[in-house]
């Protein structure tokens, strides 16, 4: 059972996370919050409702005696992909839902928060407390999605509006690349506790690594400009076949959110959550797909790391890095600790698949991760939009190879 200090800490974490979601939505108008700019993007209003539905469905309805559902249709509107709990509104049509409005979603959140406060005041069984912890971490994932999605929404507006105003960023200083070497051999990877982890991070198990080296810094925009200048987006021999086909179909010539005045390829601009900014060659490249990252690695003669290589060289203690700071929602140049955490999620060459011995949990929560273990690649390390306290060395993020709108970049690896 969760009681005493554990219960107080869990209640505080719940309140803090719920408040941060509303703080991230606060700069946005009601009109901003209902736009869906592509099928992969969800409106801000939907994220706010869905995270409340999660607590209502998996905690309040089964565990709080006398709980009254806020609205009988919200289960259909705000369910994401949980087949076990019923039908849901089509994902590509979330931007068509003008009602409930933002004010009613805010009332829904307050309704759920009051009820969760009552639930958290009771002595919770260990399994119930674990579900609260899962819900808190689930909402943190949606906080990053709020920022990812609204960035795409605002980028499609011809006014190129800023999510929030920021001071001009000072230019960074490029660091000469170096390598972190590892002799290889058997190593253990995966979560073994203590503390929370998603089910896809376990069981901990042994893998055998051949000797390798990991770059001691992230690939920068300056590195990427060299790749582009050498025909990186026009040389089919650098690309995987599916990636080359998509590159041609979509007309990729630069990372997502890069623009330049015609005829002035030396003056690239980059759209940020602070609006349009001059591109800084020293900052980590961001918003590149797996296909682009793999093509860049081939161009250098190196490769992307495996997720086991990355985890083996990542610090296992407290996470330090440029994570979510509402005043600095953009990757920063340089940094300490080799930027293994924060700034950008790092593509690995590892397909997202179950660890040996992985078993899907029974019931609806078993749909959280396991059913997505196909046609995706693993990313590691967190980004400038990842909430502080959410990421760890064993954390496995995942996206399709074509995804660009995530805060995704790369570092190189090579065999020794």
Domains in the chain (CATH in brackets) are 4-155 (1.20.120), 179-415 (3.90.1580.10)
pLDDT classification of 2: cutoffs 50, 70, 90: very low
- H or E element at residue 128: helix 126-155
215: alpha, beta or left? (left if phi > 0; alpha if psi -120 to 50)? beta
* Residue 377 phi, psi dihedral angles, 5° rounding: -120, 150
* Residue 215 phi, psi dihedral angles, 5° rounding: -60, 140
Average pLDDT over residues 54-79: 95
Q: How is residue 135 annotated by DSSP?
A: H
Q: Which of 22-36, 227-241, 246-260, 325-339 has the lowest mean pLDDT?
A: 325-339
What is the C-alpha to C-alpha distance for residues 47 and 34, in angstroms, rounded to an integer?
10
The confidence score (pLDDT) of residue 3 equals: 42
Task: Report the 10 Å Cβ neighbour count for 1.
Answer: 13
What does the pLDDT look like over 252-286, one tens digit per residue?
A: 999 999 998 765 656 899 999 999 999 999 999 99
Percentage of the chain exceeding pLDDT 90: 82
Token readout for 271 is: 């759209």
3-state secondary structure of 76: helix
3-state secondary structure of 270: strand
* C-beta of residue 135 within 8 angstroms of C-beta of residue 55: yes
pLDDT classification of 172: cutoffs 50, 70, 90: low
The confidence score (pLDDT) of residue 167 equals: 61
Rg (CA), the chain: 22
What is the C-alpha to C-alpha distance for residues 39 and 42, in angstroms, rounded to an integer?
7
């Amino acid at each position: 059972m969760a009681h005493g200090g554990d219960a107080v800490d869990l209640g505080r974490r719940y309140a803090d996370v719920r408040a941060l979601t509303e703080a991230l939505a606060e700069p946005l108008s009601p009109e901003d919050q209902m736009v869906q700019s592509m099928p992969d993007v969800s409106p801000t209003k939907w994220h706010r409702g869905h995270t409340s539905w999660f607590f209502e469905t998996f905690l309040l309805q089964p565990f709080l005696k006398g709980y009254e559902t806020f609205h009988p249709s919200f289960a259909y509107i705000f369910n994401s992909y949980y087949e076990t709990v019923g039908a849901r509104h089509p994902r590509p049509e979330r931007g068509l839902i003008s009602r409930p409005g933002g004010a009613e979603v805010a009332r829904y959140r307050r309704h759920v928060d009051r009820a969760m406060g009552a639930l958290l005041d009771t002595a919770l069984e260990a399994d119930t407390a674990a579900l609260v912890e899962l819900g808190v971490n689930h909402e943190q994932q949606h906080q990053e999605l709020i920022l990812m999605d609204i960035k795409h929404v605002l980028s499609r507006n011809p006014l190129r509006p800023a999510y929030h105003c920021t001071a001009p960023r000072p230019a960074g200083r490029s660091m000469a690349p170096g390598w972190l070497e590892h002799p290889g051999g058997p190593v253990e990877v995966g979560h073994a506790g203590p503390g929370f982890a998603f089910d896809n991070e376990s069981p901990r198990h042994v893998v055998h690594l051949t000797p390798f080296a990991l770059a001691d810094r992230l690939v920068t925009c300056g590195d990427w400009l060299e790749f582009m200048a050498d025909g990186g987006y026009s040389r089919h021999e650098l690309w995987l076949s599916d990636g080359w086909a998509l590159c041609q179909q979509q007309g990729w010539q630069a990372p997502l959110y890069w623009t330049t005045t015609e005829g002035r390829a030396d003056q690239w601009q980059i759209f940020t959550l602070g609006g349009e900014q001059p591109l800084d060659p020293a900052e980590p490249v961001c918003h590149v797909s797996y296909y682009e990252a793999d093509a860049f690695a081939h161009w250098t003669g190196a490769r992307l790391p495996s997720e086991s290589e990355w985890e083996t060289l990542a610090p296992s203690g407290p996470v330090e890095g440029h994570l979510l700071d509402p005043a600095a929602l953009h990757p920063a140049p340089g940094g300490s600790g080799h930027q293994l955490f924060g700034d950008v999620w790092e593509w690995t060459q590892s397909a997202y698949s179950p660890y040996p011995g992985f078993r899907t949990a029974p019931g609806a929560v078993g749909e959280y991760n396991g059913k997505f273990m196909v046609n995706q690649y693993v990313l590691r390390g967190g980004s400038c939009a990842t909430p502080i306290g959410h990421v760890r060395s064993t954390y496995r993020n995942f996206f399709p190879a074509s995804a660009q709108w995530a805060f995704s970049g790369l570092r190189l690896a090579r065999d020794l």
